[in-house]
């Protein structure tokens, strides 16, 4: 079986061990005589799957007891609307604009109230995380919104804004469980699964309990967090198979030593790639060093034709999905939890050889 090194930004690679377990379970899950895709979401097997997934997630992220964990649908993009629908009770939020994903969140929030953009990195094609001045924060904001790791531009927060009593809301779609975070610092965390924790179809929401139940009367039932929090994510049919695979990924992560151990590996992988980029005469990273993502590494040469040649030859050599986002160009290597160190080492070897051959 020939598998490639898949550097896709999402949906992205899953651990082989997880795929093998899913293969074993495919026709007959746990003696049920059926696959997870075929069973009732009210069955005892699925009840165990979703409860174990939640328990493992809580353990991995050290989620405090006063937070609810929800497995929802609609992707990260539905959260852009659900957040203002549920949290914008006073009609105002603060937001840091670090690129497309925060812009989309801003566009939805504007439908429900005022968005105060406290800082933006748009002046330099979002290649850094802007410094934040507390004087520009709104003390009466309903929440303060950030995109923790920008998948497209490859930026990452290393220091959280001090928002005082204003709940901090973070889009962690492309970094959840890749490094340790203190959940208690946030009012709400969300992440579409398809980057770091499973297949597309499920979105994880971790929400402080006192923020639940404040949506207006006319909030659609399915878009009200209270609906899902009260029903243990079983108000309607959840994305059963995606929850099951995410659960397997959580077990895999626990076996690897948890998030702290994974963070070490991720730092090692990122260092291998960034060190090479910093020393290369042909390739360079596009993000300022202090704000570089551990997960998404955009890089370029100074020549579009050379970029295209590189992507083509890399693909032929089994390093796939290295093309940069259409709004940025160049290349991007997404090196999520499931990417082994060896994948990054081999990529760097390939880049070195390409550089020598194309001098």
Ligand X SMILES: *Cc1c(COP(=O)(O)O)cnc(C)c1O
Q: Which residues are catalytic?
A: 101, 171, 195
- How far apart (Å, rounded) are the C-alpha atoms in residues 318 and 298? 19
Q: In the complex with ligand X, which residue's Cβ is closer, 104 or 251?
A: 104
Q: Exposed, middle or buried by CB within 10 Å (0-12, 13-18, 19+), for 345?
A: middle
Quick check: 86 binds ligand X (CB under 6 A)?
A: no
Q: CA separation (Å) from 301 to 122, 208, 324, 332, 355?
A: 22, 44, 12, 12, 10
Compute how many residues bind ligand X; rule: CB under 6 A: 12
Structural tokens at position 138: 């709104």
Quick check: 73 binds ligand X (CB under 6 A)?
A: no
- How far apart (Å, rounded) are the C-alpha atoms in residues 46 and 27? 15
Quick check: 75 binds ligand X (CB under 6 A)?
A: yes
Structural tokens at position 63: 């989620």
Q: Which among 277, 280, 272, 303 has a CA at the least distance from the CA of 288?
A: 277
Quick check: 198 binds ligand X (CB under 6 A)?
A: no
Closest residue to ligand X in the complex (CB): 75
Q: Exposed, middle or buried by CB within 10 Å (0-12, 13-18, 19+), for 255?
A: exposed
Quick check: 153 binds ligand X (CB under 6 A)?
A: no
Q: In the complex with ligand X, which residue's Cβ is closer, 98 or 163?
A: 98
Quick check: 77 binds ligand X (CB under 6 A)?
A: yes
Among 56, 94, 171, 179, binds ligand X (CB under 6 A): 171
Quick check: 173 binds ligand X (CB under 6 A)?
A: yes
Quick check: 199 binds ligand X (CB under 6 A)?
A: no
Which string of x and - marks every residue 27-66 that binds ligand X (by CB under 6 A)? ----------------------------------------
Quick check: 291 binds ligand X (CB under 6 A)?
A: no
Q: In the complex with ligand X, which residue's Cβ is closer, 203 or 227?
A: 203
Quick check: 190 binds ligand X (CB under 6 A)?
A: no
Q: In the complex with ligand X, which residue's Cβ is closer, 163 or 174?
A: 174
Q: Would you tell me how many other CB atoms lie within 10 Å of the CB of residue 104?
A: 16
94 contacts 118 by C-beta, under 8 angstroms: yes
Could you tell me the smallest distance in angstroms from the CB atom of residue 168 to ligand X? 16
């Amino acid at each position: 079986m020939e598998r490639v090194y898949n550097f896709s930004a999402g949906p992205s690679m899953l651990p082989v061990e997880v795929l093998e377990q899913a293969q074993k379970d495919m026709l007959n899950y746990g003696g049920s005589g059926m696959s997870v895709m075929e069973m009732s979401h009210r069955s005892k097997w699925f009840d165990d799957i979703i409860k174990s997934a939640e328990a493992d997630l809580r353990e991995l992220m050290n989620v405090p007891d006063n937070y609810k964990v929800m497995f929802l649908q609609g992707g990260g993009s539905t959260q852009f609307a659900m957040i203002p629908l549920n949290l914008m009770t006073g009609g105002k939020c603060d937001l840091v604009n670090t690129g497309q994903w925060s812009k989309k969140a801003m566009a939805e929030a504007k439908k429900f109230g005022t968005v105060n953009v406290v800082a933006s990195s748009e002046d330099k094609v979002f290649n850094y995380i802007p410094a934040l001045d507390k004087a520009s924060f709104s003390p009466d904001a309903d929440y303060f919104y950030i995109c923790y790791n920008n998948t497209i531009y490859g930026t990452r927060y290393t220091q959280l804004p001090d928002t005082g009593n204003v709940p901090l809301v973070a889009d962690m779609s492309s970094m959840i469980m890749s490094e340790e975070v203190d959940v208690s610092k946030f009012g709400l965390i969300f992440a579409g699964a398809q980057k770091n924790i499973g297949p597309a179809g499920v979105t994880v929401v971790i929400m402080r309990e006192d923020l639940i139940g404040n949506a207006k009367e006319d909030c659609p039932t399915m878009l009200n967090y209270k609906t899902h929090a009260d029903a243990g994510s079983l108000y309607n049919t959840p994305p059963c198979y995606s929850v099951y695979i995410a659960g397997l990924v959580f077990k895999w992560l626990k076996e690897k030593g948890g998030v702290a151990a994974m963070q070490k590996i991720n730092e090692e992988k990122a260092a291998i790639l960034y060190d090479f980029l910093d020393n290369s005469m042909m390739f360079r990273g596009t993000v300022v060093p202090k704000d570089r993502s551990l997960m998404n590494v955009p890089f370029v040469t100074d020549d579009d034709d050379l970029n295209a040649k590189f992507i083509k030859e890399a693909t032929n050599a089994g390093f796939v999905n290295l093309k940069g986002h259409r709004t940025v160009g160049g290349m991007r290597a997404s090196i999520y939890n499931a990417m082994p160190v060896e994948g990054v080492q081999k990529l760097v070897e390939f880049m070195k050889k390409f550089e020598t051959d194309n001098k």
